[in-house]
């Protein structure tokens, strides 16, 4: 984890987590089919002064077109839908556990609580961000399901395996690991330690879903749609990107941790999947700096 990000999350909540929550809230309030999202809880977590603004279409357009980097609003919408589908499938397949790294204001445990049954969900995050989320849940009287467990951790000071063991996360159970909006913020050695921990704790058939940026973005080659704005926004938030994967090398990266690539979607694939009309015309462009990956532990 970078020094600047570490200092920020020790003193305040993550700005990128807040922006992601705002994007999901905007999407939940949209009426356009391609832009409408299912995170009906996100609008409840917004500050009181912001709600009236985002309930107006002009306010949502201002956020999506002016405050958010080019194509990032669309990317968050696509990413939320993609990971929602993976999460829902894991519950349908009766996975034993779900571990959400850097959960931020993720609401899946509440939105899909009727499907959880015997699947336990663990949310892992920095103490202040997690406390802010839990405080909002209490304030809005949003009851957490009994099989939702919060794990507060400072990854620079505390052992991830020890935290998982203390929380009752079972080794070798069939599990889903979600790393949404996280991997790119970690230092390479932290990425290695995280994926190795996943490998050590994952049972046969476990799955991992994550997003990452391409290495070319870290080199500032400027070849991706919306790249300059995305890099600038992250820098302005004091939450630098430190890790990327070369295009075409994701399968090789996963193989190093005993994982097999199941699905990979870049911006073009996400546009076709989530922002195409009935005639196949793209109605919204997705920021090209990121891609989404699903892998299976072998």
Instruction: Tell me the per-residue pLDDT of 125-168, one tens digit each, with 9 for 90 and over.
Output: 999 999 999 999 999 999 999 999 999 998 778 899 999 999 99
Measured distance CA(281)–CA(64) in Å, rounded = 20
Residue of 46 and 179 predicted with greater confidence: 179
Measured distance CA(189)–CA(34) in Å, rounded = 38
Mean per-residue pLDDT, 230-235: 92
Give the H/E segment covering residue 296. strand 290-297
Q: Residue 24: inside a domain, yes or no?
A: no
Q: Residue 141: inside a domain, yes or no?
A: yes
Measured distance CA(47)–CA(247) in Å, rounded = 39
Place of tokens 């939702």: 148
Farthest CA pair distance, the chain: 53
Mean per-residue pLDDT, 157-185: 95
Q: Where are the alpha helices (DSSP H) in the chain?
A: 3-11, 15-29, 51-54, 57-62, 72-92, 108-111, 113-116, 127-139, 160-167, 188-201, 215-218, 227-236, 250-255, 267-274
Q: Residue 45: inside a domain, yes or no?
A: no
Q: Could you list the residue range(s) of the whole structural domain that residue 146 is in?
A: 3-12+73-297
- Nearby residues of 203 by Cβ (< 8 Å), 6 or more positions away: 96, 171, 172, 173, 174, 175, 297
Tokens of 181: 């909006």
Task: For the chain, give the percent of residues with pLDDT over 90.
Answer: 77
Q: How many CB atoms lie within 10 A of CB 155?
A: 19
Q: Residue 162: inside a domain, yes or no?
A: yes
The residues pairing with 149 across neighbouring beta strands, listed in sequence order, are 122
pLDDT greater than 60 at residue 5: no
Name the 3-class secondary structure at 228: helix
* Number of domains within the chain: 1
Tokens of 84: 């929602």
Burial of 139 (0-12, 13-18, 19+ CB in 10 A): exposed
What does the pLDDT look like over 68-90, one tens digit per residue? 889 999 999 999 999 999 999 99
Q: Residue 110: inside a domain, yes or no?
A: yes
The residues pairing with 214 across neighbouring beta strands, listed in sequence order, are 245
Residue of 122 and 10 predicted with greater confidence: 122
Q: How many CB atoms lie within 10 A of CB 183?
A: 23
Tokens of 25: 């809230």
Task: For the chain, give the percent of residues with pLDDT over 70.
Answer: 96
Query: Residue 1: its pLDDT value, please?
Result: 53
pTM equals 0.93
Q: Residue 22: inside a domain, yes or no?
A: no
Measured distance CA(262)–CA(278) in Å, rounded = 27
What does the pLDDT look like over 250-262, one tens digit per residue? 999 999 999 999 9
Tokens of 72: 């990032």
Give the H/E segment covering residue 197. helix 188-201
Q: Residue 134: inside a domain, yes or no?
A: yes
CATH number at residue 250: 3.40.50.150
Measured distance CA(2)–CA(272) in Å, rounded = 34
Measured distance CA(119)–CA(154) in Å, rounded = 26
Q: Residue 172: inside a domain, yes or no?
A: yes
Q: How far are the Cα atoms of 61, 123, 124, 127 from residue 148, in angstroms, in the given order?
A: 34, 8, 11, 16
- Nearby residues of 281 by Cβ (< 8 Å), 6 or more positions away: none
Query: Residue 3: its pLDDT value, please?
Result: 46
């Amino acid at each position: 984890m970078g020094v600047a990000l570490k200092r920020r999350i020790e003193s305040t909540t993550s700005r990128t987590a807040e922006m992601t929550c705002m994007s999901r809230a905007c999407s939940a309030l949209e009426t356009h089919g391609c832009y409408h999202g299912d995170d009906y809880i996100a609008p409840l977590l917004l500050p009181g002064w912001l709600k009236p603004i985002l309930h107006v279409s002009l306010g949502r357009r201002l956020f999506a077109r002016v405050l958010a980097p080019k194509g990032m609003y669309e990317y968050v919408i696509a990413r939320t839908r993609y990971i929602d589908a993976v999460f829902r499938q894991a519950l349908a397949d009766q996975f034993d556990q779900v571990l959400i790294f850097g959960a931020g204001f993720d609401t899946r445990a509440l939105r899909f609580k009727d499907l959880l049954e015997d699947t336990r969900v663990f949310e892992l995050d920095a103490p202040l961000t997690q406390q802010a989320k839990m405080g909002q849940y209490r304030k809005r009287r949003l009851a957490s399901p009994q099989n939702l467990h919060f794990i507060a951790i400072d990854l620079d000071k505390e052992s991830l395996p020890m935290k998982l063991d203390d929380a009752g996360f079972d080794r070798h159970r069939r599990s889903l690991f979600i790393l949404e909006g996280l991997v790119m913020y970690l230092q390479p050695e932290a990425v290695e330690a995280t994926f190795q921990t996943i490998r050590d704790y994952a049972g046969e058939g476990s799955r991992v879903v994550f997003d990452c940026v391409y290495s070319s973005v870290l080199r500032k080659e400027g070849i991706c749609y919306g790249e300059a704005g995305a890099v600038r926004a992250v820098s302005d938030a004091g939450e630098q990107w430190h890790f990327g994967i070369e295009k075409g090398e994701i399968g090789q990266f996963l193989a190093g941790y005993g994982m097999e690539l199941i699905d990979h979607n870049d911006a073009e694939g996400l546009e076709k999947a989530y922002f195409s009309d009935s005639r196949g015309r793209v109605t919204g462009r997705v920021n090209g700096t990121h891609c989404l990956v699903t892998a299976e532990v072998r």
